[in-house]
Amino acid sequence: MRKTIMSIELEGLKPFKKGKVRDVFESGDKLLFVASDRISAFDVVMPNGIPDKGKVLTQISIFWFEFTKDIIKNHLIASDIDEIVGYDEKIGAYKDILEKRSMLVEKSQPLPVECVVRGYLAGSGWREYQEKQSICGIELPPGLKESDKLPEPIFTPSTKAETGHDESITKDETIDLIGDKLFGFVSSKSIEIYKKADDFARSKGIIIADTKFEFGKKADEIILIDEVLTPDSSRFWPLNEYKAGRPQRSYDKQFTRDYLDSLDWDKVSPGPVLPDEIVNKTREKYLSILSLITGKTL
Ligand SMILES: Nc1ncnc2c1ncn2[C@@H]1O[C@H](COP(=O)(O)OP(=O)(O)O)[C@@H](O)[C@H]1O
Ligand SMILES: [Mg+2]
């Protein structure tokens, strides 16, 4: 039987934050960042999870932290479980649960915006374009179709809603939140990371349609935090099936979302239990993205 890790409790470690997917603990002045197997769809955490999903998310993030470290410093300190235990021996008792799904990271003060980059027109960006021919106040050419590639990747930040859906905000609204200097910094870093990652992913048969980064303040520095370019924070499309003018099959939660759409569920918590078939297919998808991007298996 495969084990699904829905919640992580570690005696002796103080919980720092419980997100939709991650359970974060204090470890001295650092954080132990653990990805559970929880899955959320339409911002609702489902009652059952996807075995190994947390491991896949963590391993993909680690790959991208390494890949982007010449562009910007990030919060990753250690990901090898023995190395983590070397920093904090209390963690040693939980090696089995934590292995591959954990990172020891620098504690930072997250900036209050989600740094979204879009290279293609999809999801809420596509909806906003249809209404206004712009996204976050950025004018776009007329006549673009769903899933079209944008002339240039654009930075379309959104608020970090504590509960519910994030809302996209304009450049001026973002500057009100973080100031113009930080706006310039995170927008250019986000686009630079996106371009480099998209080039690489393309060589592996994947289009990164859009993605979301988070940055945090650590002393006087701004570093890349959270998860990076995972199927949870990005839209990945198979390159060989790409065709503008329609929605694309996405690599990850598609089965989950399609299944939920087929039910008479109002998308309000609690969500329905996912049947085994959906769980297994979704798991296969997560594993295949891991190996496509990193060349590795769990
Ligand atoms: N280095 C860091 N320091 C402090 N907080 C962080 C750091 N990296 C990520 N976080 C925060 O930890 C949380 C990660 O948990 P997650 O399950 O992804 O939450 P969410 O439901 O908000 O997406 C997020 O709120 C994120 O802002
Ligand atoms: Mg998150």
Q: Is the CB of 75 under 6 A from ligand 1?
A: yes
How many domains is the chain built from?
2
**CATH number of the domain that residue 162 is part of:** 3.30.470.20
Give CA 169 to chain center in angstroms.
Answer: 19
Are 227 and 160 in the same domain?
yes
**272 part of a folded domain:** no
Q: Is residue 129 a contact partner of residue 210, using CB atoms and an 8 Å limit?
A: no
| pLDDT at site 182 | 98
Average pLDDT in the 246-272 region?
Answer: 90
Which residues on adjacent β-strands are paired with residue 135?
138
Q: What is the pLDDT of residues 170-229, one digit of tens each?
A: 999 999 999 999 999 999 999 999 999 999 999 999 999 999 999 999 999 999 999 999
Task: Give the mean pLDDT of the chain.
Answer: 96
Q: Is the CB of 106 under 6 A from ligand 1?
A: yes
Are 235 and 200 in the same domain?
yes
- CA–centroid distance, 41 to ligand 2, in Å, is 12
Q: Is the CB of 22 under 6 A from ligand 1?
A: yes
**CATH number of the domain that residue 42 is part of:** 3.30.200.20
Domain carrying residue 185:
110-241
Are 147 and 208 in the same domain?
yes
**290 part of a folded domain:** no
Name the band, by pLDDT with cuts 50, 70 and 90, for residue 1. low
Q: What distance in Å separates the CA atoms of residue 284 and residue 282, rounded to the nearest whole number?
A: 5
Does residue 254 have a pLDDT over 80?
Answer: no
Q: What distance in Å separates the CA atoms of residue 54 and residue 4, rounded to the nearest whole number?
A: 9
Average pLDDT in the 27-49 region?
Answer: 96
Does residue 162 have a pLDDT over 80?
Answer: no
For residue 277, give the amino acid letter.
Answer: E
| pLDDT at site 55 | 98
- Give this prediction's pTM: 0.97
Q: Is residue 46 a contact partner of residue 38, using CB atoms and an 8 Å limit?
A: yes
Read off the tokens for 26: 């204090």
Does residue 79 have a pLDDT over 90?
Answer: yes
Does residue 144 have a pLDDT over 80?
Answer: yes
Among the candidates 107, 122, 148, a domain finishes at 107
